[in-house]
Amino acid sequence: MPSPTVKKAASAKPKRRLSKKRFILLTILTVFILGAGTAVGIVLSIAAKAPQFNPRILTNTDQSSIIYDKDGNQIGVIHASQNRENATSQEIPDQVKKAFVAVEDSRFYDHFGLDPIGIARALYQDLSGNKLQGASTITVQLARNAFLTPEQTLTRKIQEAALALKLERLYTKDEILTMYLNRIYFGESAYGIKAAAQTYFGKPLKDLDMGEIAMLAGLPQAPSAYDPYVNPDKARYRRTVVLGILRDDKIISQADYDKYKDAPFSYVDKMKEENKNPQAGNMPNVQVSYKYPGFVSYVLHELEDKYNISPDAIFSGGLKIYTTVDSKIQQAAESAYADPNNFPKDVHGNPVQSAMVVMDPKDGSIRAMIGGRNYTSAMDFNRAWQAVRQPGSSAKPLTVYAPALAKGGYFPGTVLDNMPVQYPGGDGKIWAPVNFDTPTQGWTGMMTMREAIRNSVNVYAVKLLDKIGVDYGWQFAKDQFGLPLEDRDKVLSLALGSESVSVLDMVSSYTAFPSGGLLPQRHSVLMVKDKNGATLVDNTNVEKKRILTPQVAYVMNDMLRTVVTSGTGTNAQFGNWAVAGKTGTTSLDDNKVGQGLRDAWFMGYTPDYVGGVWMGLDQSNSKYHLTSDTYGGDKPAKLWKKVMMVAHEGLPVKTQFDRPSGISTITYDTESGLAPSSLTPSQFISHDIAISGALPTGTSNVWVQMDVCAVTGLLPGPNTTQTISKVCLNITR
């Protein structure tokens, strides 16, 4: 029987294997889809948590910020709801609107609140490391200023975008632009375009010319940096940039560009000359309630300038601002400044101005600040940090003595001669520095560094700066102490304090001495929290820069202690405290003593606090100046003492500055600064400290033994009958 036929099953279609390339592409696509979905979910979740949209906030602010002292006591409430003057759309000239759109958001009328082109450009510039501009539209800026805190996070960026889209849906472009121009901050406490026009030009919006409009349009990018009251050169540069944009966009002509690019800031110059607050009379209903206006003014400046917290957030963001002010010290300073007996008068019997700063050298905390006599508002001109003056001899430790010790080869017994000297001046004339007491005391010959510091001898300081090098002293004071020196200060008169600095600059620099050579970062803000409790600023651990060795700092402390114990600053000594300091007085003409005085300074410190006091006139000239008997060691030192006595109440008395290792006591010849020779008379042998390893080398060679006339004590002459052997000083001057 034949076998049954078995039908062969059709073979199954072979499976197609997934190629490696296809697998990778599908994996990427899957991850992208899942990731995109997840990202969208996250974005929607974040956007949903954006602050509740409240139209009233766009035209009003109602969240006060609170300021506290270092102990957590409330010292002020700031609220900006009345510190802005809204303008209607009809009041804002079309040229103003066009200028701001051109500068801030050129596609404002084309986008929907977000600008994809701007975002792409900003992303490209971020990736290329050449970030020139951001992607924030005018709508986004309005949303940020009105509803959000100043933190820089992805979450906030997403919420900004969500709020911007809502604004675009509810309002017209003109309404958004008008609200933006009414909310934006222009510096100098001016909120809104209407207040800004009054602040910088003293005129209503309708009267602004294109140069003035250009300056205002350039301010929002960086109000502090481009403030013509503070930085006229930068303001002028920024205005020129904006004028170029307006010209290129055909908003103004080339003739307009040429006409306005060099226009003076006439109103600003007038207000500065009269030392008036630019906001005077413009904002009568400001809701600001606080103590210590001089200190608070600097806090507001620091928040904006250093920590980039917008003024809207500061004044209406519900911030909790914890500061470094010590109410006990600040109140002592306020009381001292309220007493007219603490201040001298000018040559016409008029009261003079003054400013004071007290700082903790351990961490750079500003404990007190007085911006001027009769200082009543944080909007007033603050002489403690906004005014710059010549510090006179109070700068010598920063520009001459500390740099010399740091360079090596010098010590308190280093000898130079206090005799006339001449230097070629930059104008082709001869510059011959003199001492304040030269007309009455004459020239005193050889002297030590300690004596020169004690008695504030000018000629010694100039000669020492010449020896160490003007460039070296200038660079050290600028880079190490942080003084705001300019190239024009790179001259020998730097030794006499011809540069321009603020009281705050000086106090900050002096903290390096009692801190053992560490320069802490100065600050008035300890911590800032937003309305939700998030920390925006934390200065509980500030940066400290090593600028001097502990040994150099100690030698400076020891020499400046002499100024207070037996020199020009004796009026500053109180109790058994170790007090060190330096006086400073400037003349109208540095080359002519007794021609009128401009400024009187006292810079003083203990191991616990550094303080600086300036007294003088806002504008000094041959007619209006200080009297000839006004000097840094008098009224400034006495006022410093009154405040510091209160500051040190309850603290353990420190009679000395901490002495580090590496300090030696040496014996030296006071006429040469070298080791005494066998001929050095005993009365010319002294002792002082020096940094180990930097001791003077060599033996004194200024003494010789020679025969002199027994009668006259002079060199033998033709009529000399008898001589004796005598040790004489052999110095050729």
Q: Evaluate whether 619 touches 346 at the Cβ level (below 8 Å).
A: no
d(C-alpha 619, C-alpha 346), whole Å: 12
User: What's 389's DSSP letter?
Assistant: B
Q: DSSP H helical segments within 2-115, as ranges?
A: 20-48, 55-59, 94-104
Amino acid at 711: V
Provide the token pair at 26. 């599908």
Strands lying side by side in the sheet with 287-290: 287-290, 74-79, 65-68, 320-323, 525-529, 535-538
Q: Evaluate whether 355 touches 614 at the Cβ level (below 8 Å).
A: yes
Chain-centre distance for alpha carbon 25: 57
d(C-alpha 349, C-alpha 655), whole Å: 40
Q: Evaluate whether 290 touches 325 at the Cβ level (below 8 Å).
A: no
Choice among 64, 65, 85, 104 that is catalytic: 104
Choice among 310, 354, 393, 620 that is catalytic: 393
* Per-residue CA distances from 330 to 72, 291, 293, 296, 358 (Å): 15, 10, 11, 11, 9
Find the farthest-apart pair of alpha carbons in the chain and give their distance in angstroms, rounded: 172
* Per-residue CA distances from 585 to 79, 330, 347, 606 (Å): 41, 25, 16, 22
d(C-alpha 472, C-alpha 407), whole Å: 9
In angstroms and rounded to an integer, the radius of gyration of the C-alpha atoms of the chain is 34
**Of 574, 568, 508, residue with least CA distance to 357:** 508
DSSP states of 667-703: EEETTTSSB--TT--GGGEEEEEEETT----SB--SE
Question: 């049954």: which residue's tokens?
Answer: 4
Backbone dihedral angles phi then psi of residue 185, each to the nearest 5 degrees:
-95, 135
d(C-alpha 228, C-alpha 186), whole Å: 11
Cβ count within 10 A of residue 118 = 19
d(C-alpha 300, C-alpha 525), whole Å: 9
Distance between start and end Cα atoms, the chain? 147
Cβ count within 10 A of residue 347 = 15
DSSP states of 610-647: EEEEEEE-SS--SSS-B-TT--TTTHHHHHHHHHHHHH
Provide the token pair at 493. 């008169």
Provide the token pair at 226. 């481009």
| Residue 393 is a catalytic residue | yes
* Per-residue CA distances from 403 to 126, 355, 407, 418, 541 (Å): 42, 27, 6, 20, 28
Strand-pair partners of 546: 518
d(C-alpha 627, C-alpha 523), whole Å: 35
30-44: b (≥16 Cβ within 10 Å) or e: eeeeeeeeeeeeeee
- Indicate the helix (H) or strand (E) that contains 602: strand 597-605
The set of catalytic residues is 104, 393
